Amino acid sequence: MRYIIINKPYEVLTQFTDEAGRATLKDFVPVPGIYPVGRLDYDSEGLVLLTDDKQLQHRLSNPMFKVEKTYWVQVDGVPADEALTKLRLGVQIKGGKTTPAKVRLLEEAPEVWERSKPIRFRKNIPTSWLEIRISQGMNRQVRRMTAAVGYPTLRLIRPGIGPLSLGDLQPGQWRDLTPEEVEQLKSIASKENIASGSNVRGKSFGSSGNKGRKGSGRGGFRKQIN
């Protein structure tokens, strides 16, 4: 069995084929027979889990199983406390109302790589970064959440899923999970957890078990954001 994480670059599809000729995971991961667990939008970046373990893939994709996903979100403007409170309580978006989220305004921008296409920049409107943790999976949920409270998303990065984190992986880089990480995944995907709908929190991003290969791209991850 193979268990792989990749730092999906901007404008890459979370699949291995595309009739329109757009970039896919096949352009980066030369491993046959593996498939993504869940999705990450074409215009979003960050952690995607790939595996040929069909049982684990099925369990982690089960809507009854709620695994916490962490996002770093660059938005237009600086959200007021009222907007942050709305996000924490849940907001109405296309597809329904979101469940309560863990949201905080980051004091400093996370140390990440430069995007292949820079975000739009306006001198008279500052930008800021949020950390948002959710266990739902609505279509383009995070973008619709920030837009619903008046702060459109400019850039979206997923640095963590449950116990997994990108570590030092740069865009397009990937690695196999450690035996410890595989056991953690299997534990949180147990039938007991699915039956109870337990919400699994990830470890801090500086965990020694989650270090990736160092890349040549600019920047890196801030090791601790708790």
Q: Which residues belong to the active site?
A: 41
Parallel, antiparallel, or unpaired: how do β-strands 45-51 and 153-161 relate? parallel
CA dist., res. 88 & res. 69, Å (int):
15
Cα torsion through 75, 76, 78, 79, rounded to 10: -70
* Residue 222 neighbours by CB under 8 Å, 6+ apart: 110, 111, 205
Of 75, 221, 71, the C-alpha closest to 160 is: 71
Of 67, 34, 36, 40, the C-alpha closest to 186 is: 67
Q: H-type helices in the chain, by residue range?
A: 54-61, 81-89, 141-148, 179-188, 191-196
Of 56, 184, 79, the C-alpha closest to 130 is: 79
* Residue 213 neighbours by CB under 8 Å, 6+ apart: 168, 169, 173, 175
